[in-house]
Amino acid sequence: MFTPEVKRMFTIAAAAVLAVAGCGGQGAGGGSGNRIVIATGGTSGVYYVYGGGLAQQLSATIPQTRAIASATSASVENIKLLASGKAQIGFSQADTAADAVNGKDTFTAKQPVKAIARIYDNYAHVVVAPGVQATKLADLRGKTVSLGPANSGTQVVARRMLQAAGLDPDTDISKQQLSINESVQAVKDDTIDAFFWVGGLPTAGITDLAASKSRMKMLDTRDVLAKLQQTYGPQYALLDVDLADTYKLSGTIRTIGIANVLLVPTSMNEQLAYDITKTLFEKKAELAMVHPEARKLDPALGQQVAPVELHPGAARYYKEKG
């Protein structure tokens, strides 16, 4: 059963999506109106809930604009959707966005995307099923582990974290590629030993799982930070998670953190990018009612998107804010 808080977030997000679904309009930045597709993530993750709220605010605030949140596999897929013109806004982890603009790892060429804001930080959740003996990442050797769905930022981070712990993600575990929804259900069904999820706090699916599987654990992953930073740079950091406050579990852990950014196509009309950025920050209170991670919106932090460049429309907004 979902907790009241999880149900509330789902209800608000669903209402936001339904309010704008099926609306007309032409491509973003042209014609008689803007139809904006927001590429988010799995339906029980923060991206989807947050994206639903943003869609509602953009539709209500920017004239002749209709926005809709679309469920996806998240970061990697979102960037590909932006590059192909199938989405106009995409949520992404900062590490995946850096790979995209540099044409590295998952991306064979530099992707035509710009940032409008850094919005909040993601936390690496390594969830271990009840009864599974594991206290650190290296203990996952030989176990059945979901790394997140294909084309997701979660999978990028999961593979890097396992490698930093001395494990080969293709041979040292029985690898699964499940969405957050599928991973939660697999733990309930006792078909996997652990899963990775990289998302905000709280993530609704994990809140639900913790309520139904109170003996589940989340691993402290601080031991792999030095190797991650040595290999990939300072985009990875350590963040504290108060498990009791966040998921009604016992204790506090430290885990890998990665910033999140909102991306748009390089080709987006400057005025539209300005309007989206302005709406994002001026509707902070309304967005925070959809998900508490929106409380972290701050124009000073929002500009910190390197190595991705700010879209000129977003840069104009920040300049005006001083």
- pLDDT by residue for the chain (322 residues), tens only, comes to 444 444 444 444 444 444 433 333 334 444 458 999 999 999 989 999 999 999 999 999 999 999 999 999 999 999 999 999 999 999 999 999 999 999 999 999 999 999 999 999 999 999 999 999 999 999 999 999 999 999 999 999 999 999 999 999 999 999 999 999 999 999 999 999 999 999 999 999 999 999 998 889 999 999 999 999 999 988 999 999 999 999 999 999 999 999 999 999 999 999 999 999 999 999 999 999 999 999 999 999 999 999 999 999 999 999 999 8
Domain ranges of the chain: 4-120+260-321, 123-258
Does this chain's domain 4-120+260-321 share its CATH topology with 123-258? yes
| Domain 4-120+260-321: which CATH number of 2.30.30.240, 3.40.50.2300, 3.40.190.10, 3.30.70.2970 | 3.40.190.10
Q: Decide if 314 contacts 115 (C-beta within 8 A).
A: yes
Pick from 151, 152, 126: which is nearest to 138 by CA? 126
Pick from 82, 78, 99, 79: which is nearest to 27 by CA? 82
User: Rounded to whole angstroms, how far apart are CA atoms 119 and 259?
Assistant: 8
DSSP designation for 28: T
User: Rounded to whole angstroms, how far apart are CA atoms 280 and 259?
Assistant: 17
Pick from 162, 159, 201: which is nearest to 291 by CA? 201
Pick from 192, 144, 201: which is nearest to 169 by CA? 144
The C-alpha angle 251, 257, 262, rounded to 5 degrees, equals 130
Pick from 132, 95, 124, 81: which is nearest to 264 by CA? 81
What are the C-alpha distances in Å from 51 to residues 16, 74, 78, 88, 179? 9, 12, 12, 12, 18
Other CB atoms within a 10 A radius of the CB of residue 222 amount to 15
DSSP one-letter string for 40-89: ---TTSHHHHHHHHHHHHHHHHSTTEEEEEE--S-HHHHHHHHHHTS-SE
HSE value, Cβ hemisphere, 13 Å, CA-based, for 240: 5
CATH number of 123-258: 3.40.190.10
Q: Decide if 318 contacts 303 (C-beta within 8 A).
A: yes
Q: Decide if 277 contacts 116 (C-beta within 8 A).
A: yes
Amino acid of residue 71 = A
Q: Decide if 149 contacts 179 (C-beta within 8 A).
A: yes
Pick from 215, 150, 169, 152: which is nearest to 188 by CA? 215
Give the pLDDT score at 10: 45
